[in-house]
Structure 1
Amino acid sequence: MRAKTSRLYKKAMHSYCISFNFRTPYQILLDSSFCKLATEQRLNLQQDLQTVLCNPTRPMVTECVIQELHKTGDHRAATVAKSFERRKCKHHLPVTSQQCILELIGSNNDNNYVIATQNDIIRKQIHDIPGVPVLRVKNGMIILEPLSKVTKDAILQKEKEKTLPSSAEAQQLKIAKLVQKPPTEPVHKKRKVKGANPLSMKKKKKQSPPPPKKQKNQGNKKNKNTNNDKTTTNTTSKTGEKRKRSSDDTKDS
C-alpha cells in the first residue's frame, strides 16, 4: 500500500474516532461475499485488515454468514470464516448475511462496526447511515471507501454542536439575561485639545533684532550739532568782516 493511501485511510479513521467514538481494536463484520472473494484471491485477512486500517482489528462473522457459505457450497470460505470471532445475532433460524448485518448495524451503528462486503445492495443502504466505514476487495487488495455524504454532513453537524452551549449552560444564560440590569449609556469623556507635536513642527527662523531707538536720537543730535557748528562759523565770519570794515574806516579818517 502506498504512503499516500495509508495517510488517507488514517485520516478517515481518525474522523470516525473523533465524531463517532470508534476505538481500537476496530470491530469488522465480514460478509459472505467478502469472505468468498478474499479466499479466492488468497488474501491474509487478519494481516491485511490491520495494514489497511493501520491499527489492530477484530474480524467477526455471524452464524448466518457461515450457514450461507455452506449453502452456496463455499466450504473453504466457511472454514476461513470459522477462524474469526463469532458475533451473536438474534436469529434462531439462519437468514441471509445481508439481512443479518443490516439488523446488527441498525439506524445509527451504535456498536461502531466496520463492514467488509462486496454486496452492492448492502453498500448502498450503508451509505445512507452515518458513521459506517466500508471495506471491499478491489484488484487483489482491500480498500477503504471514502466517507459518504451523509457521514460528512453528520460530522459537520457535530462540530457545530460542540461550539454551542449545553442545556445547563443555556439555562444559566437565560437566568443571567433576566437578572441582568438594562444597559446604561456609556459616558464618553471629552478629549482634551492637544497642540501640535513640537517634533513634527518646523523650527522658526531667528529674525535679526530691530535697531535700537537710541541710535536714531544720537543721529538727530549729531545733525543738530553740525547745524549749530555751521551757524557759529557763519556768525564768526560775519563779525570778522564787520571788524575789518571798521578798521579800514578808521585808517581813512
Structure 2
Amino acid sequence: MRVKKQKRHRKIVRFYTACYGFRQPYKVLCDVTFVHHLVTHRITPADKALSHIVGAPVTLFTTKCAVAELKMHGSSLGPSHSESLEAANSLITARCDHEEAMSADDCIMDVIGKDNSEHFFVATQQADLRKSILKIPGVPVVYALRTALLLEAPSAAQRQFVKTSEEQRLHMTDLEYKMLEKRAKNLLEKDSSDEDVGCGDQNLEVQVLEKKRTTRKELGVKDKVQFKRKRAKGPNPLSCKPKKTLKRPDSRKEKNDEDTSMRSRKKRKRSRKGKNPVKADG
C-alpha cells in the first residue's frame, strides 16, 4: 500500500513540474490548521515528513495573517496552542502586501494569486479552502489524515487548463501572424530588387564574353580545353626495386673445372708388384 501511495505522489509531482514549471527545493505554504495537526500528532520534523511525500527537499512558509489569527483565536485549540504558535513562528514568513490583517484563508488565496507565480504547495486541513485552491491552475494541495500525509490529485480544471494551453502553443496568435506576414512581404520585395540588379549584371557579363570570343577568333587563337582527361602515369621510380644484374661466369674457372673432371675420369693403372715374373731360360 505504501509503495502505491509513493508512486501516485511521484506521478502528481511530475505533472506539476512538467506542466507548471515547479523546481526543487519545493516551497510549501502551511496553514495554521495544518501546523496544529502536525504538532498534536507529533509528526516531526515537519520538513522531513513533507520532503518524503514530495520526493525532494522542501522549504516551509506561512503568512503574517495566519500567525496573527493563531494568536487571537488559538485559545480554542487547547493546551497545544503554545506549541503550535511556536512552530508557526519558526517557519519562514511569506510576503503579503495587504496593509490590514485578513483571515488566514483570504491571505493564502491572496499570496497564491491567479496563477501561483511563486509555485507554492499549499498545506491545509480545511476542506473548503482545498476545494477553492484546486480551482486555481497550478496549485498542488497537501493534507493530513492522522499520522499520514497525502498529496491531492490534480483537479479536472487544472488538467483542462494544461490541455488548452498546449493547444494554444500549437497555433499562432494574431500578433505573430501579422509579424510573419510583414516579414514575408519584405523578403519578396528584396528578392525582386535583387533580380533586377542581377539581370543587368548578367547582360554586361554576356557582352564582355562575346567581345573576347570575337577578338580571339579574329587573331586565330584557339580556346583552351577547360577540362582535361586524366591519363594513367607510370609508377614512381623511387618506389620500385632496382633490377638484379646476372653475373657472367669466369671462363678460366670453367676450364679448370673441366680439367679436374677429366683427370678424375682417367682409369687407374693397376700395379703388378705382387706377381712373380716368369724367368727366361738360359
The TM-score range, normalised by the shorter chain, is 0.5 to 0.7
Q: Is the 8 A contact 2:141 2:151 kept in 1?
A: yes
Please point out which of 83, 89, 92 is paired with 1:82: 89
1:50 Cα offset (Å):
0.2
**Which amino acid is the alignment partner of residue 38 of structure 1?**
L
Q: Which residue of 2 aligns with 1:18?
A: 18
**Residue 102 (structure 1) aligned with residue 109 (structure 2):** yes
**Which amino acid is the alignment partner of residue 172 of structure 1?**
L
Q: Which residue of 2 aligns with 1:233?
A: none
Cα separation, 2, equivalents of 1:12 and 1:176: 44
Question: So what's the TM-score if we normalise by structure 2?
Answer: 0.58
1:174 Cα offset (Å):
8.5
Cα separation, 1, equivalents of 2:20 and 2:124: 21
Cα separation, 1, equivalents of 2:150 and 2:178: 44
Cα separation, 1, equivalents of 2:143 and 2:14: 19
1:27 Cα offset (Å):
1.1
Using the TM superposition, name which of 136-145 and 89-98 deviates more.
89-98
Cα separation, 1, equivalents of 2:179 and 2:101: 51
**Which amino acid is the alignment partner of residue 126 of structure 1?**
I
Q: Is the 8 A contact 1:29 1:115 kept in 2?
A: yes
Distance 1:170 1:23, change over 3 A: farther
**Residue 146 (structure 1) aligned with residue 153 (structure 2):** yes
Q: Is the 8 A contact 1:69 1:75 kept in 2?
A: no
1:49 Cα offset (Å):
0.6
Cα separation, 2, equivalents of 1:82 and 1:57: 17
Q: Which residue of 1 aligns with 2:61?
A: 60
Cα separation, 2, equivalents of 1:4 and 1:176: 55
Q: Is the 8 A contact 2:95 2:111 kept in 1?
A: no
The 5-angstrom pairing of residues 234-245 of structure 1 reads: none
Q: Is the 8 A contact 1:30 1:60 kept in 2?
A: yes
Cα separation, 2, equivalents of 1:19 and 1:41: 34
For structure 2, the residue ranges without an aligned partner over 5 or more in a row are 76-80, 189-282
**Which amino acid is the alignment partner of residue 11 of structure 1?**
K
1:146 Cα offset (Å):
0.4
For structure 1, the residue ranges without an aligned partner over 5 or more in a row are 180-253
What percentage of residue pairs aligned between the two structures are identical? Answer: 26
Deviations 1:82-110 (A, max 9, x none): 12111121244432111110111112112
